[in-house]
Structure 1
């Protein structure tokens, strides 16, 4: 099958969104925790988290269009602007349904934590809620953002201020056992996968 750009553009909206979200392969699924001026904790699932750099440790997330009709993402952006903090929380198999439900458009004043049955966890120095049920989570401080004119989205970059993970999933070389931690992968808009290690190879040299 070969799909040209005109073919892709002719697809109905949801199949097109699903396809384009899936063509880059498996992605991470992270619950982004934030809080706004009203003090209501917010939670939204993102599959756009990307490694920016390691020294300092920087992670980026891409928001959906801020003038669109998807309120959960707009809340996340506005909350990060307010507090200058956010959290990233891995999704495991036992919380997949709750995590996915955070993508629904809840009205102002409703906490997704309460709506989907997850627990906000607060830690000193991070003005954003973690997900208590998540095994791997990180607290980030806002660093900067970049406006992407091509589709009216925003790349938000945060610095990792705190990393919380199970004691038995990190080895002396810095390898993180995502399979052991139960982290799932995401494809498209609504499909979740278990992970399985295929190989760990040595540093490649000529």
Structure 2
């Protein structure tokens, strides 16, 4: 039997919202998904500063345990060496592809030892709202992703940009199919991120947002980061 988790979600379309229980049995993290090669190199360079080896190819797809997905408002991490990453996500539900938002929270201390290991060490908080992809595809590049962190008691912009810098959903899914995989029901796929403003760093509070300025709506989620003491 495959492990799975269930998340109570809100499916929001132009016709309104409905509640749904989503069951996930697989989580796939798309990495190095920049469409803009200069921005992609910036992200590679900023991670190289903390010892992360450049990828053999781009994009890459990393599997993490599905139990790492969570809708919780707080996660526990090892010490203070991790950080969040705002990303758009894709799921398939009732035959339709939906867009959401999540944080690919990653342990930066262990990342230089292996990206898969570093990603597996942290929970992946996700917002509980999703939009139909077909409602946003005609203005996809205007969708914005944004993250703030708490520093010295204040919210500071940590990441900000449009998804125009990333592979589009169809491009991302095309690369996934090239690897003999596909987005099937039960899979949550992370679509990539933009660079951190001021460098990758730890914070005890992370807020992520996916905003659609055309339809005037946004998906948002905040969570606290609670360090577990390292005693051996």
User: In terms of Rg, which structure is larger?
Assistant: 1
> Could you say which structure has the higher strand fraction?
2
- Give TM-score scaled by structure 2 length: 0.28
> Could you say which structure has the higher helix fraction?
1
* Greater RCO, CA 8 A, separation 6+: 2
